[in-house]
Amino acid sequence: MSNPFSIQPGKPVRVIARIFGTPLAVQGLNWLPLNQLLFWGLFIVQSLRRHPGWPVWRYLGLGGLKMAVLLGSEWCHNLAHVAAARVVGRPVDRMRIILGMPVLLYDEPEHPSVTPRQHLARSFGGPLCNMMLWVLSKVFQRRMTPGSPAREVADVAVGMNTFLASASLLPVSVFDGGPVVKWSLVMRGFALDQAEAAITRANRFLGPGLLGCAVLATARKRWLEALVLAFLGALSTTSGWVKKFPGS
């Protein structure tokens, strides 16, 4: 399966910046920050329910801060991958903005000249960044008064970086954990096809397990947790059955 986020041939591409030497590109209008607008709106609605009677500017401001922290954590995750790839001498070929969010693109992600250690370094960059952000967010969270706007922003930061640092390491091909497991097995003497088969077998158990946890969370009316677990369970269950997108 080809990567639907890759640069489409025959359409003009505009490079708007370079980050750690990697071009940041946009193509067409699909770069428009719809994710930012969506989450800003959702957080504004949340603030309207939690804090009735506030002036409009406070709703807009708190919603904007929560949105920036939430999506900024994902941006930091990807920028850390770009930095790690640069450090090990196997830089990301380009980073494309889709709906306001970054997508990393490699022309030949599994070129034979890329060593397993380089693959691992590139893959670990994002999760390690989120682990550090989690620590900083946790310190900030503990210093804020429960129920205060600042505490709400800190809660979003802690939750998002907890999710990114943990979920990204699941052994799913489209996450960082897939390459981490695969190249770790290769370093232990497994052939590539054997390593990929091992990941497939693992997900046959992990996926249904996550879906089962989603059912339990639903029974306890923990709706957000159930939604996240169901999403991860669906990805894990299908991992190995659908050919992965190109990635490291």
- 212-234 pLDDT, tens digit per residue, is 999 999 998 888 888 888 988 88
Extended strands (E) in 48-124: 94-98, 101-105
| Matching residue, tokens 């930061």 | 157
- b/e string for 98-122 if b means 16 or more Cβ within 10 A? bebbbbbbbeebeeeebebebbbbb
Instruction: State the pLDDT confidence band at 248, using cuts at 50, 70 and 90.
Output: very low
- pLDDT of 17 reads 94
| Matching residue, tokens 């003497």 | 189
| Matching residue, tokens 């607008």 | 37
3-state secondary structure of 27: strand
Instruction: State the pLDDT confidence band at 2, using cuts at 50, 70 and 90.
Output: low
- Structure tokens of 146? 């429960």
What digits encode the pLDDT tens for the residues 11-63? Answer: 888 999 999 999 999 998 999 999 999 999 999 999 999 999 999 999 999 99
243: in domain: yes
- pLDDT of 4 reads 65
117: in domain: no
Of 91-100, 107-116, 227-236, which has the strongest mean pLDDT?
91-100
| Matching residue, tokens 């070129």 | 111
- pLDDT of 237 reads 86
E strand or H helix that includes residue 19: strand 13-19
Q: Which residue range(s) make up the domain with 206?
A: 192-248
Distance between CA atoms of residues 22 and 5, nearest Å: 17
- pLDDT of 235 reads 86
How many domains does the chain contain in total?
A: 1
- Structure tokens of 55? 């002036």
Distance between CA atoms of residues 207 and 237, nearest Å: 4
- pLDDT of 204 reads 87
Residue 245: pLDDT above 60?
no
Type of residue numbered 203: N
| Matching residue, tokens 């750690």 | 20
Would the CA dihedral through 100, 73, 240, 235 be positive or negative? negative
Opening angle at CA 181, ends 131 and 23, nearest 5: 65
Distances (CA, A) of 122 to 84, 89, 114, 132, 180: 5, 10, 11, 17, 9
Chain centroid to CA 218: how far?
24
Distance between CA atoms of residues 78 and 81, nearest Å: 5
